């Protein structure tokens, strides 16, 4: 009987709303990377019409900043799940994929100044550095380096994304 079922989609939507409220609370911006961004990308649940969904899931992407580092955001999300699971009928689990710390840089770093100078000469226009949140190839290279590595990723537009480690 549907009236006796525990709808997994309802549970998931409770989490969805609460997680969005939590993420909205991360208001302080990092000077280079800006604000934490959170985006739910996939939602799935149920198998057919007229059947109470037993399982539901969502996948989301969170791009953290030094102001709100990855371990802090992960702990806050796990705490949210723990609090929601105190409610009757709630059975939420949380899994993290690729929980990497953020990489940041400085707009005034000597390496960036050099790239701007060379870029102006080679491209004929001002190259403006911008921050880039999230995982990228530069992050992967820097994580494997056994020495201090300076990286910059050139975008197709006259914009430069810089990362320094």
Residue by residue, pLDDT tens for the chain (165 residues) are: 566 789 999 999 999 999 999 999 999 998 888 899 999 999 999 999 988 999 999 999 998 888 999 999 999 999 999 999 999 999 999 999 878 777 777 778 888 888 888 888 888 878 777 766 655 566 666 666 665 666 666 655 544 443 433
Quote the number of domains for the chain: 2
pLDDT at residue number 154:
62
Instruction: Provide the residue range defining the domain that includes 136.
Output: 110-164
Please indicate, yes or no, if residue 101 is contained in any of the structural domains: no
Please, what sign has the CA dihedral across residues 74, 80, 83, 89? negative
Cα dist from 130 to 32, 141, 153, whole Å: 7, 19, 10
Residue 119 and residue 74 share a domain: no
| Whether residues 118 and 80 fall in one domain | no
Q: What is the pLDDT of residue 78?
A: 97
Q: Is 19 helix (H, G, I), strand (E, B) or coil?
A: helix
Task: Indicate which CATH number applies to the domain containing 19.
Answer: 3.30.70.360
pLDDT the model gives residue 139: 64
Q: Based on the fold, state whether residues 64 and 129 are members of the same structural domain.
A: no
Residue 102 counted as domain residue: no
Q: How far is 64 from 139, CA to CA, in rounded Å? A: 14
In a domain, 96, yes or no: no
- Are 8 and 72 found together in one domain? yes
What pLDDT, on a 0 to 100 scale, did the predictor assign at position 155?
Answer: 59
Helix, strand, coil abundance in the chain, percent, nearest 5: 35, 20, 45
* 70 in the same domain as 22: yes
Q: In this structure, is residue 92 part of a structural domain?
A: no
């Amino acid at each position: 009987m549907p009236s006796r079922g525990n709808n997994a989609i309802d549970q998931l939507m409770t989490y969805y709303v609460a997680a969005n409220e939590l993420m909205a609370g991360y208001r302080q911006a990092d000077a280079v990377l800006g604000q934490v961004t959170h985006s739910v990308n996939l939602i799935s649940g149920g198998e057919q019409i007229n059947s109470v969904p037993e399982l539901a899931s969502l996948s989301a992407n969170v791009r953290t900043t030094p102001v709100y580092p990855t371990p802090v955001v992960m702990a806050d999300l796990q705490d949210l799940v723990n609090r929601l699971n105190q409610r009757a009928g709630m059975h939420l689990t949380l899994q993290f994929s690729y929980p990497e710390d953020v990489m940041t840089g400085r707009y005034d770093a000597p390496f960036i100044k050099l790239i701007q100078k060379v870029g102006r000469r080679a491209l004929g226009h001002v190259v403006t550095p911008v921050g880039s949140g999230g995982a990228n190839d530069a992050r992967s290279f820097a994580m494997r380096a056994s020495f201090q590595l300076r990286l910059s990723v050139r975008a197709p537009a006259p914009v430069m994304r810089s990362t320094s480690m």
